[in-house]
Structure 1
């Protein structure tokens, strides 16, 4: 059965291209090729990985983080926050686009779900930017790039799943992604300012009449809109980073805190709660089904000798540390054309980890680079999941041409961040090292 490791990935990609959902494609391939290896015993063999995944305490944080973000969105807290940000940066060149990026960063820190950030903020930001006649490509690029921040800014669900697969500390990984995430936000804002300066017609500022609010009123609006969600975010991440709570406990703090905020704003209604629970169940079910399928797939790949085959190839190729990292990151980037982020993490990370450990490469540093590459593949044509998310909420006058043109500068910025992390590992390792020393 030595042919199985060679054909198992092409077989998976064929099913995905045929339109079969990734979760079911993974399960079909796992059972089919597993049966060729072990016969009827494959069902007993796969029971263990499925049970261990479904009872994984760390993964219990996923629905809690999703619920926290959904409550903040459904109760209007997110809209008030976006309006408050516009009060401060709206008069800048490209101010509404900058407010969109900042809003995406804050909401990413409140939900951790990539697609949710883009859709929630996009529904608010598209009408606001079109009102001031922003260029279509800048609108599309800003929303797609801002939405991608959910990949890297804690408490990213991507990082939670990655930590579970790689047996790494979620707290350390969250700390590791903070500086690269903030760096990306700064670069995004810098690009928007530069473009607005060079082409003022692409991103005009808000008119003085629309932003003529006394400073005292502006401060009051900002405190009421910004302070509560920021306190919640710091409570969740702070308790996790200092070791006061496990990931699941911190997520529970966030979920309960979101409910208390909604109640304080008098927005906690049965209809809202029911809707938030339904969204949480739907997204969690989708993620966990892919987790189960991915666990089955990697188990069958290992049974077929695939892991050893990959390790033998890497040893024989003599890449060296730099060549090995580039090779593995290239695989992740190319896989992003076909697979979503969770499938990439579940399929490839269990294969990569033994190779990375054997090469003596810092896992935290490597993880951050993988996160940036996954985030970049989320934006990169031709597949670009971010564009399909945007298409689902965009008006007809925001075309695919705008979207494909709009994401390219932000892809370049993400690659720049990847280069910074690669050449200055401390960007990824400083905070985790500091936390370990506390």
Structure 2
């Protein structure tokens, strides 16, 4: 009925159709995988013995200690995001830069970067920054497109700045060290913040009326009192970030152990600000449970899909299609980035990481592309999934907390310049690989922090990695 070569593209198309219809991703992946597995067995295109590896794969997911870093970092971020730390940071930093045109926008970007490093999730950062800074910027007469754009963009920085959850997942899927992935992301993170700040500076010069300074009557006196207030808000958070990242970079702790330390440190930080309460901890635990459950179910569904897909020689189909692209490495990178950019209209970064990355990584490795650099590049690209209209998740989060007076069209138009800046960073990382590899060469060497167990099934299937 079906030729052997048509099954992988049909399976891939079926997955896309289910997701466009709107079925839950985890169950769509599992259902498509099992359906085509049974169809392949019935038509003789799939060896039923491949399914024997499924229990081992699922057990490997549940017992993977590296993935424990996700709930730890999520709990750390959820606790700090709810304990009022962001309000303290933004209020002090806003007063510090507020007397300048665009000063509040600069404060939002800087605080967004710090908050992103301690929350690890875009949703938490965008919602926190929106609730705190949107009313203030509206009160002082900021252009609404500039306001919504800078708030959404300050939240998406979270995806790239270590200890980002995206980098943990990418490291796991690429079979690389989380520490190396964090080191590789340092350069692009700095570049992204610099590009955002340069845009605000240019806008303050060309259109100062769109970002007026804080009125004199609303300013605090400049002096050591204000500086101490800003430092009191920043230094404990920065110390916690450096403790978490430093132990990973120097091999003193695995990402899971560092995440556990970060979770304890977040509770200590909340207690230091006299805001550690049982309702706060309970809310943070509920958020952590929700996100972690979603990740595990998506990973199990993608494992079912990828097992059947590989058993039908889907990996060879992807490899032959990608390897035949004109332009070699550059042609492959251009195609992949365009593909990821458009795929991100419909899929969350977890879904892209669990479904697409395992299919692209072997091709990238065969073309001689460094997988750490490749992973960081895709992470930069996937930032756009949160910003581009009309499906950007950051825009949805912002729309949810914005008052009715803020039009959706203003949120969408405000996001476009920031999407273009994110695309500029993608081009910079492709044209200047040292922006990633420099920190890998200069940084401390870290031993691999996850164990890969290889179970070969037969010659037609690459070793399975748990």
The answer for the alignment partner of 1:158 in structure 2 is 166
Deviations 1:45-78 (A, max 9, x none): 4222221111111110001001111111121122
1:84 touches 1:226 (CA, 8 Å); kept in 2?
A: no
Q: In structure 1, how many angstroms separate the alpha carbons of the residues matched to 2:276 and 2:9?
A: 53
SS of the residue aligned with 2:251? Answer: coil
Candidates 409, 432, 439, aligned match of 1:431: 439
Residue 16 of structure 1, aligned match among 15, 19, 23 = 19
Match of 1:112 in 2: 120
Partner of 2:178: 170
Does 2:394 correspond to 1:394? no
Q: CA deviation at 1:436?
A: 4.7
Provide the rounded CA distance (Å) in 2 between the counterparts of 1:206 and 1:292.
51
Whether the 8 Å contact between 2:99 and 2:213 is mirrored in structure 1 is yes
Structure 1 residue 98: Cα displacement: 1.4
Among 203, 208, 211, which residue is 1:200 paired with?
208
Change in Cα spacing, 1:75 to 1:436, as seen in structure 2 (3 Å) is closer
Contact 1:35-1:42 at 8 Å conserved across structures: no
**Greater Cα offset, 148-157 or 381-390:** 381-390
CA distance in 2: counterparts of 1:28 and 1:133, whole angstroms:
51
1:232 and 1:54 map into 2 onto residues whose CA distance is 28
**Are 2:134 and 2:147, in contact at CA under 8 Å, matched by a contact in 1?**
yes
Q: Is the 8 A contact 2:325 2:332 kept in 1?
A: no
The residue number in structure 1 matching 2:45 is none
What is the Cα deviation at residue 358 of structure 1?
A: 0.8
Aligned twin of 1:356: 364
Match of 1:235 in 2: 243
Distance 1:42 1:32, change over 3 A: farther
SS at match of 2:403: coil
The 10-residue stretch of structure 1 (260-269 or 208-217) with the greater mean CA deviation from structure 2? 208-217
Question: Does structure 2 retain, via aligned residues, the 8 Å contact 1:13–1:338?
Answer: no
With over 3 angstroms needed to count, the CA separation of the structure-2 counterparts of 1:311 and 1:42, relative to structure 1, is: closer
TM-score, normalized by length of structure 2?
0.90
Equivalent residue in structure 2 for 1:36, among 29, 36, 39:
39
Root-mean-square deviation over aligned CA pairs = 1.7
Distance 1:224 1:349 in 2: 41
Any gaps of 5 or more consecutive residues in structure 2?
43-47, 447-466
From 309, 330, 344, the equivalent of 1:301 is: 309
- Following superposition, the deviation at residue 44 of structure 1 comes to 4.0
Partner of 1:334: 342
- 2:318 equivalent in structure 1: 310
Q: Which runs of 5+ in 1 are unaligned?
A: none
Q: Distance in 2 between matches of 1:345 and 1:177?
A: 16
1: distance between equivalents of 2:8 and 2:334?
22
Determine the C-alpha separation between the residues in 2 that align with 1:8 and 1:205.
Answer: 56
- Distance in 1 separating the partners of 2:209 and 2:222: 28
* Aligned position for 2:94: 86
Higher helix share: 1
1:51 corresponds to which residue? Answer: 59
